[in-house]
Amino acid sequence: MDSIAPGGASAPHVDPVNELEPIKRPSREAAMEAVKTLIAWAGDDPRREGLLDTPKRVVDAYGEWFEGYRADPAKELARVFEDVQGYDDMVLLRDIEVESHCEHHMAPFLGKAYVAYFPSEKVVGISKIARVVEIFCKRLQTQETLTAQIADAIVESLNPLGVAVMIEAEHQCMTTRGVHHRHVSTVTTQFTGVFKTDKGLQDRFLKLAGRG
C-alpha cells in the first residue's frame, strides 16, 4: 500500500515535526466499505437497489477529485524555454478553472484563478501553469493555502522576478450548510518579488485580472 504523509502527499518518512507515522492508503474495498458506513449513518440502506453501486461511484469520484496527490507540480514546470526574444513583461493566465474541496468539510469550492509571473531568464509553456493550479486544486485545501502553494511552486521552479496569484471562489460549505449564504465569493492573493515591491505592477495585474 502507498504511504500518505500527514500533509497529504505520498511520502515514506516520518513527519519530523509531529513525529507521526505515515498513513497507509486503504484498499479500494476498504474505501467502499467506508462509503457504505456513511450511507447507513445518513439514514439509508446501502443494500437498497439504487445505492448498490454508489460506493463504487463515490470511490471513483474521489480518485478523480483528489488525483493531485499523485502528481508533482515541479515535474510540470521542469521543461523551460530560455529564448524569450527580449520579452520583459509579465505573463498572465486568466480564468483558470478552480475545482477543489475544503479540508474542513470536504465540500467543493469553485471559482477562477489568475496567475502571472515576471520571467527572469526562462519561461514555461502556459498549459503547465494551468496544470499546476489543477494539481493543487485536486487535494484537500484551504483557499489561502492553495493560493500560496501555486505561487511557491512557480517561484521554486522558474526563479522569476515575481509571481502574482489571485483566486476568487464560492465555498459550498458556506452556501449549502451553516450560514447558507449564497453568492458570497472569497478572494485571496499572493504576491512575490516585483509584484510585491512594485505597487504599479501589482495594480496592473489586478486590473488585468478584473479587480482593478
Catalytic one of 168, 171, 190, 202: 171
- CA angle, 191 as apex, 189 and 192 as ends, to 5°? 155
- Choosing from 104, 121, 156, 181, the catalytic residue is 104
Active site residue 103: yes
| 173 tagged catalytic | yes
Q: Is 104 a catalytic residue?
A: yes
Q: What is the dihedral of CA 78, 142, 139, 154, to 10 degrees?
A: 0
Catalytic residue among 21, 33, 67, 103: 103
User: How far lies 206's CA from each of 22, 92, 210, in Å?
Assistant: 41, 11, 6
Residue in 132, 115, 118, 116 with CA at minimum distance from that of residue 79:
132
13 is catalytic: no
Which one of 101, 102, 137, 202 is the catalytic residue?
A: 102
Q: What cell does 179 get? A: 450560514
Catalytic residue (one of 76, 134, 143, 202)? 143
Catalytic residue numbers?
102-105, 143, 171, 173
